[in-house]
Chains A and B, each alone.
Chain A
């Protein structure tokens, strides 16, 4: 028994139709984005003592660089989810092709190999282009110019001298040196992750010659997400009070921080699992009550496939959750610092920008999921259209399918993020801005506007992403669907 040659597997991997080519294209695009972000994060991480200075202050202060790196890595979460989501695009057609290969004698692992090759090579292509783009861009932005920057100099053991000086600066760390192994690792990481994901995703799939059967759990857990989310939020909301009560603050800081982080992960996990639970629950509530066909169609679909409609919104929810937490932290920081000093405000604004970018990127995944759902159901939709169902009814049902579970989830995510961060950082902070120079406690305002704005932004971008899926909805009314046997 020997496996098909690499050339054969490659040819089979590339032998798909239009949707396969689109999948390869968007996988490569996702890998491009992710790898580029990795290169940017690495370039910040690699800034040495002799590099710089740079136009952007956050890059000049070593203490702030981890924040920049974390923000950039945070952005790779939605792009990685996007790469994972890409494997779903055109899946029914690909599954039929795989089943035919099995029927023609291919073994399950040959099929897995073909899929892994397809994903891996697409991601590798994207990563290579990203590396090239990074190094080309580096040369492009390498120009130096004169600008006024603030320099920090340590004086003795206690003091820091801040001076405003005119210096030759670069925009970005285009002068850092990349060791070859880091370049190789950065190019390899996304293809390796994507291949691993696609192989893992196929592990729960029965690759029979008659078709590809995905065993997806039909009913999401009801209790588990409620417990995780509820307990985590309650714990974090009372976190600082409990810590103060037990006087753990000074004695066991690492343990306290770890506990806080665990609660944070609990809430996030609750949100991720809970998305599908909320979808199924709202569907079950609405389906037997509505008179509107569009809502009925959406509700029934939420019950039948809660994961399909919520998988893509997971990263949106995470962004809203983290984003709202950031707003509370921001309020806490700004309440405790001099309003004249705009440094923190600017930095937090940059972070907000990153969060909005994360939401927009997440919505790319959503657009793929909804588009795929339309393509997958094109025959049913065409039959409904032929039977006189107005397109706006079908469009409304698609919007409802996304928004009905998303809106309550976003509200929950935003409230949880806000309240738990406030619980951790406290509703009162010490401030130095007293007239007599004494430390006083000030109330932290509850930031409602920015988390609300973030939530509205998330929902608005989701609406746009869903609207994008209406393009194939229009095409799916192609009568050809009704004439040919699928």
Chain B
């Protein structure tokens, strides 16, 4: 039972110009690359040389035990945190040296972020929550609301458009939050334990929707989870351990079973 299936190969020393094998074996330039990223919270070193690559439309699971640095890796990759050392490259451009304002704009337009819970503004309706990123980018109210309705529908919660988050279930909130993360049609969706606060069935339903919508929209997903069952929704897995990405799982050699 230890025969490894067809491996997903990546160059052990990733570079933004390297080709990357996606699931269907098609080679493409990576959309997002994190190279030798180091990040410290004060004296605590959360990342000590992490690498990863995400191909366009790929669903990449980033796993590891709690405290391994996987959330920090996501925040660095998403440009929320600027790495202490190392680089983040998006579409061939180094974004880790950008100013906070530029990275904010990038997050607003090219990235979507989804957290475990507590990200919706409780006073806004679901429709307004989803429309918010569009309004931030200068869209008109009617236009933003129409788009919000569309994305709520894609996540199966169109009927919640005028409902406020405190009146929603956990699963509904996550669907609305996912709709908000996707409303700008980002290239990358960053999802940090998106089902962490949900029970098994609603968690499964939310993951099902996220995967389906991301595949339809061709959005790459960086899925942060400690749960192997959630990681199994991905095309590929990167293991984070003690602030470093596991080379073995990035560069998964054929596990020969001698």
Contact = CB atoms under 8 A, between A and B. Distances in A.
Do A and B touch (CB < 8 Å)?
Answer: yes
Interface in A441-486: 479-480, 482-483, 485-486
Interface residues of A, number: 29
Contacts of A384: 119, 121, 132
7 contacts: A301-B123, A380-B118, A386-B78, A386-B107, A386-B113, A387-B180, A479-B81
Contacts of A483: 71-72
A303 interface: yes
B58 interface: no
A297 interface: yes
A482 B121 contact: no
A387 B113 contact: yes
Interface in A383-397: 383-390, 393
Contact of B116 (A289, A300, A485): A485
A293 B113 CA distance: 18
A41 interface: no
A291 B135 contact: yes
Majority SS at the chain A contact face: helix
A97 interface: no
Contacts of B120: 380
Contacts of A290: 141
Contacts of A304: 122-123, 164
A379 interface: yes
A291 B140 contact: yes
B109 interface: yes
Contact of A482 (B115, B122, B135): B115
Interface residues of B, number: 41
Interface in A78-116: none
Interface string A281-315: 00000000111110011001101110000000000
A380 B119 contact: yes
B108 A383 contact: no
Interface in B125-146: 125, 128, 132-133, 135-136, 139-141
Interface stretch (B7-15, B84-92, B98-106): B98-106
B237 interface: no
Contacts of A300: 121, 123-125, 128
B135 A380 contact: no
Given A300-B121, A304-B123, A479-B81, A388 B111 contact: yes
A304 B167 CA distance: 13
B75 A387 contact: no
B106 A296 contact: no
A300 B75 CA distance: 29
Contact of A387 (B123, B164, B181): B181
Interface in A338-384: 379-380, 383-384
Given A297-B124, A300-B123, A482-B71, A388 B118 contact: no
Given A291-B141, A388-B136, A389-B136, A297 B111 contact: no
B163 interface: no
Contacts of B192: 482
B80 interface: yes
B81 to A, nearest CB: 6
